[in-house]
């Protein structure tokens, strides 16, 4: 079985066509996607780059968060997995994979729009893993709305609280516990640079995550805590079919990238590992674009 180190043509490495419309109720389950996304279950090989690390990953049940959690475990980290209760079946599968890698998995279901819960994830990590030195904020809410007049205040607020507020709450809670050498990896998007007209609230949060992360990076660097960002392009995850994209957009999803296809979650994982590991020790406040070649500033 090939892994991330196997020499191959990136154009043909994964599914090249668009996707059939397959709407799901939010938040969506990876187990119901067709074709099944690759989170690295059989294709990510660890090399000990995060041995002994203690990680908190939000959105860890599916998509990019799942890929990051699997990669972190195979690189040697114990992992607290946060997700929504409706995603329990996916999360249990991730926990099994983490444990198969010989690492500890802690299930931490709950809604990040609840400030008290979001903050409690840090205490859970410290208690269950004996400390915390890696935070990967991956969870996100994305719902397309074609007209600004149809974007409700409720949805706008929920997107902000899920994508931006929770990042602030978790980082603020974590910083007093993070020893020098710790890393924070936040998740933006191509939408932070090239916003789609039907993703006003989502794109706004992703631009905000870039700005917040770059400000935090400067503030925390003297403490030996590095903050960086991964900005994915179109990636095949439940987020897309659970209202993230219109159904009629799915046949063309990812086709406009220079590689001509959507990315797979496992293709994001090496970026999260690199930015979390000591080999990126001089990388601070960077935005690592993993988007199939879409130009960014």
CATH number of the domain at 106, please: 3.40.50.720
CA dihedral 230, 188, 212, 79 (to 10 degrees): -60
Q: Where does the pLDDT of residue 26 fall: very low under 50, low under 70, confident under 90, or very high at 90 and above?
A: confident
Q: Is residue 19 part of a domain?
A: no
Q: Is residue 2 part of a domain?
A: no
Which range marks the domain in which residue 263 is found?
A: 47-290
Number of domains present in the structure of the chain: 1
Q: Is residue 142 part of a domain?
A: yes
Q: Where does the pLDDT of residue 297 fall: very low under 50, low under 70, confident under 90, or very high at 90 and above?
A: confident
Q: Is residue 25 part of a domain?
A: no
Q: Is residue 74 part of a domain?
A: yes
Residue 186's H or E segment, with its range, is strand 183-187
Q: Is 5 a catalytic site residue?
A: no
Question: One of 14, 83, 193, 202 is an active-site residue; which one?
Answer: 202
- Span 168-192, pLDDT tens digits: 999 999 999 999 999 999 999 999 9
- Span 93-134, pLDDT tens digits: 999 999 999 999 999 999 999 999 999 999 999 999 999 999
Q: What is the mean pLDDT of the chain?
A: 97
- Span 37-66, pLDDT tens digits: 999 999 999 999 999 999 999 999 999 999
Residue 32: CA count within 13 A, CB half-sphere: 16
32-53: buried (b, 16+ CB within 10 Å) or exposed (e) per residue? ebeeebbbbbebbebeebbeeb
Alpha helices in the chain (DSSP H): 63-74, 88-100, 115-129, 153-160, 166-174, 200-220, 238-239, 269-276
Q: Is residue 233 part of a domain?
A: yes
Prediction pTM value: 0.97
User: Is the confidence at residue 30, as pLDDT, over 90?
Assistant: yes
Q: Where does the pLDDT of residue 1 fall: very low under 50, low under 70, confident under 90, or very high at 90 and above?
A: low
């Amino acid at each position: 079985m090939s892994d991330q180190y196997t020499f191959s043509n990136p154009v043909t490495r994964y599914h090249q066509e668009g996707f059939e419309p397959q709407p799901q109720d939010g938040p969506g389950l990876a187990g119901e996607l067709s074709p099944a996304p690759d989170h690295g279950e059989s294709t990510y090989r660890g090399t000990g780059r995060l041995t002994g690390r203690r990680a908190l990953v939000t959105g860890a049940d599916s998509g990019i968060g799942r890929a990051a959690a699997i990669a972190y475990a195979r690189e040697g980290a114990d992992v607290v997995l946060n997700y929504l209760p409706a995603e329990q079946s996916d999360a249990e599968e991730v926990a099994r994979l983490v444990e198969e890698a010989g690492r500890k998995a802690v299930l931490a279901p709950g809604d990040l729009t609840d400030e008290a819960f979001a903050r409690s994830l840090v205490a859970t990590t410290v208690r269950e893993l004996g400390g915390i030195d890696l935070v990967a904020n991956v969870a996100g809410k994305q719902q397309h709305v074609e007209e600004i007049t149809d974007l409700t205040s409720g949805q706008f607020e929920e997107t902000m609280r899920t994508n931006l507020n929770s990042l602030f709450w978790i980082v603020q809670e974590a910083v007093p516990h993070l020893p020098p050498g710790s890393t924070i990896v936040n998740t933006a998007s191509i939408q932070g640079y090239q916003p789609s007209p039907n993703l006003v609230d989502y794109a706004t949060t992703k631009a905000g995550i870039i700005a917040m992360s770059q400000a935090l990076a400067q503030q925390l660097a003297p403490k030996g805590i590095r903050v960086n960002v991964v900005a994915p392009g179109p990636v095949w995850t439940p987020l897309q079919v659970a209202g993230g994209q219109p159904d009629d957009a799915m046949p063309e999803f990812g086709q406009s990238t220079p590689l001509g296809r959507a990315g797979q979650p496992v293709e994001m994982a090496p970026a999260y590992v690199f930015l979390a590991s000591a080999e990126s020790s001089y990388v601070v406040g960077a935005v690592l674009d993993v988007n199939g070649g879409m130009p960014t500033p």
